[in-house]
Amino acid sequence: MARTFPFPAGGLVSDKMLAAYEADGFLVLTGFAPAGTCAALRRREYELIEAFDPQSVRTVFSTEDQAHARDAYFRDSGDRIRFFFEAGAFDAEGRLTRDKHGAINKIGHALHDLDPVFAPFSHDVRLKRLAEGLGLEQPEIVQSMLIVKPPFIGGEVGMHQDATYLHTDPVTVTGFWIALEDATAENGCLFAPPGGHLTTLRERFHYDGGALVKTTLDPRPFEDATGEPLEAPEGTLVVLHGLLPHRSGPNTSARRRLAYALHAVDGTARWSPDNWLKRPAAGGSAA
């Protein structure tokens, strides 16, 4: 069955696309963002990092040790625009070894609400229709991230399910991941096993009192811990089911791999109040 489709006009999901999504747990939709839009979003990413003082904070984002989870700068970033470094950006003395533009791992987590360029892009009506067509009755964006994956030191993202981090009952979180530059197996594209979402949620990352902890719900390893590469030319949108295990490789190449990821939940599902991300009082913003 086809897994790659041209982005459908108006975001209207066809029966074939829906069948592929239900079978595989992901869709690769080419041509969502035109070249001019990707260039404008890259310019904005440059401006954001340009305005960031790298001496002001030193939080590293790493899915290996989750060290960021102890840091208030991360914990309070759900409704802010904050900057997280690559682990490989510092020397043994804690000094930055490169220019800040090549040192940032990601920027999150409320660009969709706060940024004058990323907010309108995030609320494109085509995305809302797409989310509705894939089964979200009331799509609400809860999180946005610019994932930079810089050359040479871009860290890998370990195999995970998004419902581990953004939990609702029932599970509804859905990822909308947009390649702002070509993503290939060389510069750290996404990997996922087709059909991998037809399984249980393995872990939850949540507050337990004042501590952010990871709790095992099902100790079985994922059936396929590697997945297939989801290579994505610039402008491609990859949709990821909340139970789909997925990961991304390290970037040891000289080519950056910038992506913008949105996560939406269904407003009709119960938001788990112990999620790491605290939603604004009025609820998240509509997709």
Q: Please, which residues bridge with residue 270 across strands?
A: 169
Residue 10 gets which letter from DSSP?
A: G
Which of 37, 90, 23, 102 minimizes the C-alpha distance to 60?
Answer: 90
Q: How far is the CB of 24 from ligand AKG (least distance, A)?
A: 16
One of 246, 256, 258, 266 touching ligand AKG (CB under 6 A): 246
Three-class SS state of 87:
helix
Burial of 257 (0-12, 13-18, 19+ CB in 10 A): buried
Beta strands in 156-248 (DSSP E): 157-160, 168-169, 174-179, 190-192, 203-208, 211-216, 228-230, 237-241, 246-248
| 68 sits near ligand AKG (criterion: CB under 6 A) | no
With CB under 6 A as the contact rule, the residue among 168, 172, 248, 285 that binds ligand AKG is 248
- Supply 195's token pair: 């059909």
105 binds ligand AKG (CB under 6 A): no
* Backbone angles phi and psi of 205, in degrees to 5: -110, 115
Report in angstroms how near the CB of residue 223 gets to ligand AKG at its nearest: 18
Task: Indicate the residue among 227 and 267 with the shorter CB distance to ligand AKG.
Answer: 227
Q: Kindly state the number of chain residues that form the binding site for ligand AKG, as judged by CB under 6 A.
A: 10
- By CB under 6 A, is residue 33 in contact with ligand AKG? no
> Considering the rule CB under 6 A, would residue 192 count as an interface residue with ligand AKG?
no
- CB-CB neighbours of 18 under 10 Å: 14
Residues 121-160 that bind ligand AKG (CB under 6 A): 147, 149, 157
Question: For residues 95 and 275, which CB has a smaller minimum distance to ligand AKG in the complex?
Answer: 275
Distance CA(29)–CA(230), nearest Å, equals 11
Using the minimum distance from each CB to ligand AKG, give the nearer residue, 27 or 259.
259
* Closest approach of ligand AKG to the CB of residue 51, in Å: 23
Of residues 9 and 63, the one with the C-beta less far from ligand AKG: 63
Contact 163, 201 (CB under 8 A): yes
Residue 196 engages ligand AKG in binding (rule: CB under 6 A)? no
- What minimum distance in Å lies between the beta carbon of 205 and ligand AKG? 12
- Quick check: 103 binds ligand AKG (CB under 6 A)? no
Produce one character per residue of 142-156: b if its CB has 16 or more CB atoms within 10 Å, e if not.
bbbbbbbbbbebbbb
Q: Site map for ligand AKG, 254-273, x if CB under 6 A?
A: -----x-x------------
Shortest approach of ligand AKG to residue 249 CB, angstroms?
A: 8
Write out the residues near ligand AKG by the rule CB under 6 A.
147, 149, 157, 162, 175, 177, 246, 248, 259, 261
